Chain A
Amino acid sequence: MTGPTNADGARPVGRVRFMDAQRVNLDGFAVEDPGLGLVALRSPDDPEPGLVVADGRVAEMDGVPETAFDSIDTYIARHGLDLAVAAEVMGLSDVAFARMLVSPDVPRAEVVRLSGGATPAKLARVLALLRPAEMGQAMTKLRARRTPSNQAHVTNRLDDPLLLAADSATAAAFGFREIETTVPVLADAPSNAVACLIGAAVGAQGVLIQCSVEEALELELGMRGLTSYAETISLYGTEQVFTDGDDTPWSKAFLTSAYASRGIKMRVSSGAGAEVLMAGAEGKSMLYLEARCVALARAIGAQGVQNGGIDGASVAASVPRGLRELMAENLMVMMRNLESCSGNDALMSESDMRRTSRTLPIVLAGSDFMFSGFGSIQRYDNMFGPSNFNAEDIDDFLAMQRDWGVDGGLRTVPAERIEQLRRDAAQACRAVYAHLGLADFSDEHVELAVDAAGSKDLGETDTLAVVSAAQAIREGGLTVVDVVAALDETGYEAEAERIMDMTRARLAGDYLQTSAIFDEQLGVLSLVTDPNDYAGPGTGYEPTPARLREIDAIRQERGVEDLRAEQARYAVPLLAVAGPAGPGQDPRDVVIGVSPAVGRDVWRCLSGMTVPAVLAELLAGLEEEGCTGRVVRFGDTVDLGKIGLAAARLAGSGIGIGLQGKGTALIHRRDLAPLANLELYSVAPTVTAELYRLLGANAARHAKGGTPDPARNPYSDEAIEARYHTTVIALMALERDWVKPGAPAQELTQEGLR
């Protein structure tokens, strides 16, 4: 890493060296350079928006006369614009149009109507005016489908079919409605498609499957019914790069129809950075080039667009305002009345904060698909390259959904269910492969796939078996019917039925409409059946109460009753009541006051030490310094200051120790105010046995009239409060349950403590 240095090249001071060492400085940050296309929202070379219509045809678009149109201009001008509204929208000021995107009072349909006549440069200019919060508002309003959703990547380094099946079942169970797979080895593609098809059918009904490979093979897999959507049909913003990609607008338009002709859902793919990386940006801004791609996507009749950087996301992220540009790309798709599959599928930073900052606004606003591939598998297994969020982040994402009360499309799956689904999927996949003579897998392999967190847990596998299975699928002309029959004949009737039901549902064609997904009852949710009706607070999508409970109930959630049960597991037959506690006379008598639930419901401190063990240390510390301790439970307060003071007032020495069941402890003296004290361990989770012993010894030193050096609270840079506050609240609730005003203090037996 070459961190920044001082202007004179000298070694910077420690504060700067420390900053240099942070992970964000592994990222590349580019100086804005319009000549290279390294500019997000607006380049000096972007054309002025303009549209001249003569005799019902476009004579000039964005400053280019028809005679100079390149192939992209030509396709957009002839097919992509609604000339009936062109004059109206091109005559609107950029600011007036931008306000319409944000205002809840302007219906989505009106924005869509006007956008139909807007040129690429016009939309780019308008979107460049929106501030981040305004973009969020616009996205909430403008996405086509009311119900937001999410897509998963399911791949692995080995193309291992059993692991693909298990991971597809897992992704489906988590709630992903599309699963996209790809291969490190092209020849494996047919096997991956079959494995994901089987696994997804085990996990949930209605999950769409994609195998992203070279276009002809991808189409072939779809034609055989093994996959049900496609999205990697790439568009580019300049003719040169388009041609370098070995396509033209007409070949892509034809391919779009080819997919539809086989009843396969399809969206195209574009996004900032592609042209820059291919040195073909022609001095234009990323947003303007993408505006051309999106206009073309609409013109060729695609129902949706995957954009928001995609492979070039980190290029956009390297320039000023790059993240605004990525989100503007998605918005542009929505304005053109198309499905948005909103990127977030490439790791755009080494910094957890930056990558979260990139994704969060879209999750909060809600999109048709928030990720065009959330890596449901570990980073190292993602054969698209790591996604911006991956298996490492699923619990984070579930917590974020819950924190904000937004529907990111995912849900918690109980551990036992994950295991069951993974086993069913791996076994079903093995059975189908064996039945069709594709490959034989061992019981051990099944179990490894069930348990694996990633392909590294599989050990050595027979990758040639995968290649040969894939070859057999391809050359044997295997179709979805063969997979259905094999599932049925090997005892997986329910899964066979699911795939058959979905295959039948696809024949109705409803899922070819904009933003269509199947729900788990095979109902189609789309622009047509589930149109976004957001018009301000109180309108639009809101999770149903059942869905909200699902979002809220993450598996880490704990209540008081969970904690009561956990504490009960540490209960031991110690700390019985010895009798009423009276005042001591011995000047070496120190009283350890404990809180009301100690010896009843509370047995274990936040540090993990048991309460009897803590008491044993305190007593041993007192003894080392020649004092004797008594353990007294106070029943009328949970306040540690009051407990400590009351203990001191009972003690013959006038010195008391207060101990709450959670482990917070202090030394008190009978003449002090309740909130004053001599020493305090305030951070209970970090107090060790040695420190409790020292507290006991120091209490004894106070009792003998000395002034000991107080122990220091151990320091931690961890999020101690985040980790323990919910437990503290529950522990205090258990303590509070035992409080009785005026309850007498009880001396507890020390038998068994040492």
Chain B
Amino acid sequence: MTGEPQVRALSGRAVGELTLDAVRRGEVTLPDLRIHPGTLDRQAQVAAEHANPQLAENLRRAAELTQLPDEEVLAIYDALRPGRSTPGQLTALADSLAARGLPRCAALLTEAAEVYARRGLSA
């Protein structure tokens, strides 16, 4: 909501500052228009309170992903598609994400590595 001062963009700027005037001054860039992980965590809380823990978990994973650049997000997606990665590659990727503070995303990849190996979905 535009009136809520606590909402910040990924860049850290308060959304209230993101005005057309700021665009005119050339002071708005894409990170100013990206959602903040704190916002996603707050929405996760709301989802959990509204009988959808899975949506909450998704939003928490999303909060983690805000810190990755677009290209890396797309690269991880590609690595998860069938036949793209060996279990070892997925596990290594999971470890790297865990080390960088993305434990939920790491857990998703770890589980994928296990199931892919069992179901013939690995490279």
> Quick one: given A224-B30, A250-B108, A513-B46, are A257 and B61 in contact (CB under 8 Å)?
yes
Q: Which of chain B's residues have a CB closer than 8 A to the CB of A215?
A: 77
- Answer yes or no: B51 CB below 8 A from chain A CBs: yes
Contact A251 B80 (CB under 8 A): yes
Contact B82 A225 (CB under 8 A): no
Closest to B120 in A: A243
Chain B residues within 8 Å of chain A by Cβ, number:
59
Contact B2 A505 (CB under 8 A): yes
- Answer yes or no: A439 CB below 8 A from chain B CBs: no
Closest to A252 in B: B80
Q: Which of A259, A261, A493 contacts B66 (CB 8 A)?
A: A261
Q: Indicate the size class of the contact surface on chain A.
A: 35 or more
- Answer yes or no: A719 CB below 8 A from chain B CBs: no
Q: Which of B15, B62, B74, B115 contacts A74 (CB 8 A)?
A: B115
In the complex, what distance in Å separates the CA atom of A253 from the CA atom of B81? 11
Given contacts A507-B7, A528-B46, 14 further A-B contacts (CB under 8 A): A224-B30, A248-B116, A250-B112, A254-B76, A260-B59, A262-B35, A337-B50, A484-B23, A488-B23, A493-B20, A504-B2, A507-B36, A510-B43, A527-B50
CB-based A-B contact count at 8 angstroms: 189
Q: Which of chain A's residues have a CB closer than 8 A to the CB of B7?
A: 507-508
Contact A507 B35 (CB under 8 A): yes
In the complex, what distance in Å separates the CA atom of A632 from the CA atom of B9? 82
Distance in angstroms from A249 CB to nearest chain B CB is: 8
- 11 pairs of residues in contact across A and B, judged by CB atoms under 8 Å: A79-B57, A253-B58, A254-B76, A257-B58, A261-B63, A481-B30, A488-B23, A501-B2, A503-B33, A506-B35, A513-B50
> Quick one: given A248-B81, A250-B80, A513-B47, are A70 and B58 in contact (CB under 8 Å)?
no
> Quick one: given A223-B70, A301-B57, A301-B58, are A488 and B20 in contact (CB under 8 Å)?
yes
User: Chain B 83-120 against A: per-residue CB contact (8 Å), 1 yes, 0 no?
Assistant: 00000000000000000000001001101100110010
- Answer yes or no: B123 CB below 8 A from chain A CBs: no
Q: Which of chain B's residues have a CB closer than 8 A to the CB of A300?
A: 54, 58
Contact A507 B33 (CB under 8 A): yes
Contact B43 A513 (CB under 8 A): yes
Contact B81 A507 (CB under 8 A): no
Binds B, one of A108-116, A117-125, A346-354: A108-116
In the complex, what distance in Å separates the CA atom of A247 from the CA atom of B20? 40
Contact A509 B105 (CB under 8 A): no
Q: Which of chain B's residues have a CB closer than 8 A to the CB of A514?
A: 47, 50, 52, 55
In the complex, what distance in Å separates the CA atom of A372 from the CA atom of B81? 27
Q: Which of chain B's residues have a CB closer than 8 A to the CB of A303?
A: 52, 55
Q: Which of chain A's residues have a CB closer than 8 A to the CB of B63?
A: 261
Q: Which of chain B's residues have a CB closer than 8 A to the CB of A485?
A: 23-24
Distance in angstroms from A696 CB to nearest chain B CB is: 74
